[in-house]
């Protein structure tokens, strides 16, 4: 067994194996789906998660907003996790195609409810051998308004733990996978840049302990790839991120747009 599942998280954080962050094919998943999946991973965390067929149980109240009177949205997320086929790559290069969630049962009474669930055998085998993981902050994950920012935060949180590595190159398809952009959506570069890349970078820079930048790589006027750079903020940057995280989400986009006006990176061909 790898070491990831044997490590206990600190208060206020969860650990997530790199293998579950670098999945391909997560585009259909919503922000709510991703939060639910992470909660299920966290609730199962430990050596038992590596056992195929092992069942875990959590209260349904922990998976939905207190104001939601029913489990309708939760059920929709569970079903998307069950039918979304993702692709993982093993250390030996083999590709594994699997679902994110196995069979499950929701039981409800007048005052409470529970979800009993299992992970598919291939997923259990994948995390069993994991040695690399990200530390994800609960409060930060709750604060995101964009699924692309959520995915970028996980990717950066995994990479900041790498020593002497501060940049990575991606193909256009590779960056779309990293951000969780669904096939057929945001196809023109200007749409991808505005609605996924810029939105994700701005929110990650605003409310997390990390700084990230994503720059296009071109052949002539055509964007053929991207380079992503990341780092950890200094104390002042972390204080500002904490302050923004605790401000209302309403109005955040305007605040971030004002900040973006002061950025020195200019992409004259953004409309291509």
- Using CA atoms, how far apart are residues 208 and 13, in angstroms rounded to an integer? 13
Which SS3 state, helix, strand or coil, does residue 87 take?
A: strand
Segment among 1-10, 191-200, 227-236 with least mean pLDDT: 1-10
pLDDT at 258: 57
Q: What is the DSSP string of 23-75?
A: -B--TT--HHHHHHHHHHHHHH-SGGGGSTT-EEEEEGGGGS-TT--SSHHHH
Show which of 128, 161, 190 is a domain's final residue.
128
Q: Are strands 85-89 and 95-99 parallel, antiparallel or unpaired?
A: antiparallel
State pLDDT tens for residues 238-249. Answer: 898 878 888 776
**What does the pLDDT read at residue 266?**
34
CATH number reported for the structural domain that contains residue 166 in this entry: 1.10.10.10
Query: Does residue 146 register a pLDDT over 60?
Result: yes
Q: Looking at the structure, do residues 166 and 103 belong to the same domain, yes or no?
A: no
pLDDT of residue 73 exceeding 80: yes
Residue 89 and residue 199 in one domain: no
Q: What is the mean pLDDT of residues 94-117?
A: 93
Q: Token digits for 81?
A: 């996790």
Residues 51 and 88 in one domain: yes
Give domain status of residue 265, yes or no: no
Percentage, residues of the chain above pLDDT 70:
91
> What CATH number is given to the structural domain containing 22?
1.10.10
pTM: predicted TM-score of the whole model, two decimal places? 0.89
Instruction: Looking at the structure, tell me whether residues 90 and 116 fall in a common domain.
Output: yes
Q: Determine the average pLDDT of the residues in 214-238.
A: 95
Q: What is the DSSP string of 177-227?
A: HHHTPPTTSS-SHHHHIIIIIIHHHHHHHHHSSEEEEEEEEEETTEEEEEE
Contact 87, 95 (CB under 8 A): yes
25 and 120: one domain? yes
d(CA 85, CA 251): 36
State both tokens at 264: 């020195």
Q: Has residue 138 been placed in a domain? A: no
Contact indicator for 136, 153 with CB cutoff of 8 Å: yes
3-class secondary structure, 11: coil
Q: How far apart are CA 18 and CA 158, in angstroms?
A: 6
Q: What pLDDT, on a 0 to 100 scale, did the predictor assign at position 259?
A: 53
Q: What is the pLDDT of residue 262?
A: 45
The answer to the question of residue 136 being in a domain is no
In a shared domain, residues 167 and 79: no
Percent of the chain exceeding pLDDT 90 equals 77
Provide the domain count of the chain: 2
Question: Which residue segment(s) compose the domain that 218 sits in?
Answer: 145-260
Q: Based on the domain organization, do 60 and 113 belong to the same domain?
A: yes
98 and 200: one domain? no
Residue 272 counted as domain residue: no
pLDDT of 256 higher than 50? yes
Whole-angstrom distance, CA of residue 125 vs CA of residue 130: 9
- On whether residue 174 sits in a domain, the answer given is yes
Distance CA 196, CA 220 (A): 23
Q: Is the pLDDT of residue 111 over 80?
A: no
- Please give the structure tokens belonging to residue 190: 């200007």
Residue 140 lies inside a defined structural domain of this protein: no
The pLDDT mean for the chain works out to 91
Based on the fold, state whether residues 72 and 163 are members of the same structural domain: no
Residue 261, pLDDT > 50, answer no
Mean predicted confidence (pLDDT) in 56-71: 92
pLDDT at 268 over 50: no
Q: Of the ranges 22-31, 89-98, 160-169, 198-207, which one carries the lowest mean pLDDT score?
A: 89-98
Q: Is the pLDDT of residue 26 over 80?
A: yes
254 or 105, which is more confident: 105
């Amino acid at each position: 067994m790898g070491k990831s599942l044997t490590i206990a998280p600190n208060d206020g954080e969860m650990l997530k194996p790199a293998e579950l962050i670098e999945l391909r094919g997560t585009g259909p998943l919503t922000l709510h789906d991703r939060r639910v999946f992470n909660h299920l991973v966290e609730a199962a965390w430990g050596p038992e998660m590596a056992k195929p067929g092992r069942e875990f149980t959590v209260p349904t109240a922990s998976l939905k907003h207190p104001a939601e009177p029913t489990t309708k949205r939760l059920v929709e997320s569970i079903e998307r996790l069950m039918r979304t086929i993702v692709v993982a790559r093993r250390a030996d290069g083999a590709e594994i195609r699997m679902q994110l969630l196995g069979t499950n049962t929701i039981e409800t009474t007048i005052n409470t409810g529970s979800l009993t669930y299992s992970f598919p055998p291939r997923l259990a085998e994948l995390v069993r051998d994991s040695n690399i993981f990200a530390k994800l902050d609960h409060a930060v994950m709750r604060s995101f308004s964009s699924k692309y920012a959520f995915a970028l935060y996980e990717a950066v949180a995994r990479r900041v733990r790498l020593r002497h590595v501060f940049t990575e190159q991606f193909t256009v398809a590779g960056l779309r996978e990293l951000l969780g952009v669904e096939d057929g959506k945001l196809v023109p570069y200007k749409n991808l840049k505005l609605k996924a890349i810029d939105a994700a970078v701005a929110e990650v820079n605003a409310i997390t302990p990390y700084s990230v930048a994503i720059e296009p790589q071109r052949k002539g006027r055509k964007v053929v790839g991207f380079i992503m750079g990341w780092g950890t903020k200094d104390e002042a940057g972390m204080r500002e991120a904490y302050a923004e995280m605790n401000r209302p989400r309403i109005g955040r986009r305007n605040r971030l747009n004002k900040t973006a006006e002061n950025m020195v990176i200019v992409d004259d061909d953004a409309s291509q």
